[in-house]
């Protein structure tokens, strides 16, 4: 991650980001989240990296050298990080079965999903049946992003006439 | 119109020709097996779009545009959204809540299965169409007139 | 000592989050800022998924003979978040391409100079 900050060659930055996404997807598999790993590998290491490479092909390849180096962002980031670390001391332990996040609604989904929905994949059952309205909103966001990109980049060629 | 077959892109062309149909089949497999294993609409849509991207990268954007025209992609994305909303409205008109799949068929389980199948299909269609649309918009921007 | 072993996943996530945040605040190149934003997003995903893991559980797909599943609720949230994140990134990159065509640069300070010199 520190290499992403220091590198000026943007192509290398995008490649490192692709590797980072792929490592995150592998991490998700070891954390028993196979659906999420699938989506992260396809979307993060595939589409996002590919779109950034297209943007690099249409803009510049290297970053300009900054003349003044201020230390304020570093201070801001360190203080926020320290506050967050202080805040995590109250959080439940990693992979603790008695954490509050595993009670209530999640337990209801796991126990009664087979009787009510009948689909083995619990993530699909929750995503499309119990929380189908949120998935409709997600679909709308993707659709809007597609229309937005079409409106921004769709019709005129580079520097040409409409 | 077709890019010339030269020795240095021969391997790429053959590999792409052999890879693209399995990629499309895999996308369909992931779409329809989203209920019994990992997968579902989003993953299937992205994999489907990546097959088209591979085709456009190897064979040129002109040929890829001939297969997936702008109009077809827009229509497909809109049909996906409308199908999802129609499923919700169908349950609304049958005296139940919006997007309640229980009332879509005679039996409750059948209704749930039908609702989930249609929903995943519409998600896959819209995601694939939008991803291909975004890719073509980016790629055609750099074409010198 | 058990505090360290129990909480190390949060600290890794906080480090990644701060690295992404630093790239967004401090770097001037617009494309690099978007990469930093995506690093930030991915670290938040890791946070949620690591909170959903249960010791000894398996993937949340119902099978014979398995009794303990990992919590499917964070998986659903993160699935939606990943796809929304890529939609936002696509729009942001389209904006960067248009900015580059209008201002002939993707550096933040040069764009500010051109804006203020009107």
**At C49, which CATH number?**
1.10.287.3510
Range C99-111 average pLDDT:
78
* Count of structural domains, chain C: 1
Q: What is the pLDDT of residues C19-66, one digit of tens each?
A: 888 888 887 778 888 888 888 888 888 888 887 777 766 677 777 667
Task: Name the domain boundary from A64, A79, A102.
Answer: A64
Structural domain of A60: 1-64
- Look at residue C9 and tell me if it is in a domain: yes
Cβ pair A149, B134 in contact under 8 A: yes
Our count of domains for chain A comes to: 2
The answer to whether residue A91 is domain-embedded is: no
Q: How far apart are CA C13 and CA A81, in angstroms?
A: 10
Which residue carries 């699938």 as its tokens?
A38
List all residues of chain C from 56 to 75 with a beta carbon under 8 Å from chain A. 56-63, 68-75
- pTM score, whole prediction: 0.85
Mutate to test the interface with C, among B129, B133, B141, B145 (most CBs of C within 10 A): B141
- Chain C: give the shortest CA distance to residue A30, in Å: 10
Mean pLDDT value across residues A136-152? 90
DSSP character for C73? H
> How far is residue B68's CA from residue B89's CA, in Å, rounded to a whole number?
30
Residue range(s) defining the domain that contains residue C86: 2-53+70-116
Q: Is residue C65 part of a domain?
A: no
Q: In the listed set A45, A64, A83, which residue is the last one of a domain according to the structure?
A: A64
Name the residue in chain B with its Cα closest to that of A33: B38
Structure-block tokens of residue A133: 């309205």
The pLDDT assigned to A18 comes to 87
Tokens matching residue B20 = 């693209």
Q: Does A117 touch chain B (CB under 8 A)?
A: yes
Q: Which two tokens stand for residue C23?
A: 């790239």
**Contact present, B130 and B77 (Cβ < 8 Å):** yes
Q: pLDDT of A111-140, one tens digit each?
A: 777 777 777 787 888 888 888 888 889 999
| Res B5: pLDDT | 63
pLDDT tier for residue A67 given thresholds of 50, 70 and 90: low
Residues 6+ apart with CB under 8 A from A36: A28, A123, C45, C49, C75, C78, C79, C82
Report d(CA B106, CA B92) in Å as an integer.
Answer: 16
C-chain residue closest to B40, CA distance:
C79
pLDDT band at B4 (very low <50, low <70, confident <90, very high): low
Q: Quick check: is C64 in a domain?
A: no
């Amino acid at each position: 991650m520190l290499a992403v900050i220091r590198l000026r060659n943007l192509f290398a930055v995008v490649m490192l980001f692709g590797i980072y996404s792929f490592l995150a997807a592998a991490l998700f598999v070891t954390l028993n989240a196979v659906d999420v790993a699938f989506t992260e590998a396809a979307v993060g290491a595939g589409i996002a990296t590919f779109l950034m490479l297209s943007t690099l092909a249409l803009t510049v390849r290297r970053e300009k050298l900054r003349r003044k180096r201020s230390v304020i962002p570093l201070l801001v980031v360190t203080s926020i990080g320290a506050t967050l670390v202080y805040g995590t001391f109250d959080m439940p332990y990693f992979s603790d079965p008695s954490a509050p996040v595993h009670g209530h609604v999640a337990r209801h989904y796991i126990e009664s999903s087979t009787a009510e929905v009948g689909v083995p994949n619990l993530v699909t059952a929750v995503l499309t049946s119990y929380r189908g309205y949120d998935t409709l909103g997600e679909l709308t966001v993707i659709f809007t992003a597609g229309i937005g990109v079409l409106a921004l980049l769709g019709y005129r060629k580079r520097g040409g006439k409409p | 119109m077709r890019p010339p077959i030269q020795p240095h892109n021969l391997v790429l062309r053959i590999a792409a020709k052999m890879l693209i149909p399995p990629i499309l089949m895999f996308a369909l497999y992931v779409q329809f097996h989203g209920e019994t294993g990992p997968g579902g609409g989003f993953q299937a849509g992205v994999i489907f779009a990546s097959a088209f991207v591979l085709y456009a990268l190897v064979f040129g954007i002109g040929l890829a545009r001939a297969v997936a025209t702008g109009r077809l992609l827009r229509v497909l994305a809109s049909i996906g959204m409308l199908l999802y909303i129609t499923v919700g409205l169908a349950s609304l008109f049958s005296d139940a809540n919006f997007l309640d799949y229980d009332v879509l068929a005679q039996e409750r389980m059948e209704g749930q299965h039908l609702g989930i199948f249609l929903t995943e299909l519409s998600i896959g269609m819209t995601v694939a169409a939008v991803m291909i649309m975004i890719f073509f918009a980016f790629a055609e921007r750099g074409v010198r007139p | 000592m058990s505090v360290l072993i129990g909480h190390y996943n949060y600290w890794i996530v906080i480090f990644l989050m701060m690295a992404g945040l630093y790239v967004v605040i401090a770097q001037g190149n617009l494309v690099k800022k978007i990469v930093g934003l995506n690093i930030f997003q991915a670290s938040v995903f890791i946070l949620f998924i690591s909170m959903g893991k249960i010791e000894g559980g398996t993937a949340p797909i119902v099978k014979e003979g398995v009794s303990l599943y990992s919590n499917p609720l964070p998986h659903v949230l993160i699935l939606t978040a990943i796809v929304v994140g890529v939609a936002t990134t696509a729009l942001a990159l389209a904006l960067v391409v248009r900015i580059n065509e209008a201002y002939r640069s993707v550096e933040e300070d040069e764009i500010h100079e051109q804006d203020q010199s009107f």
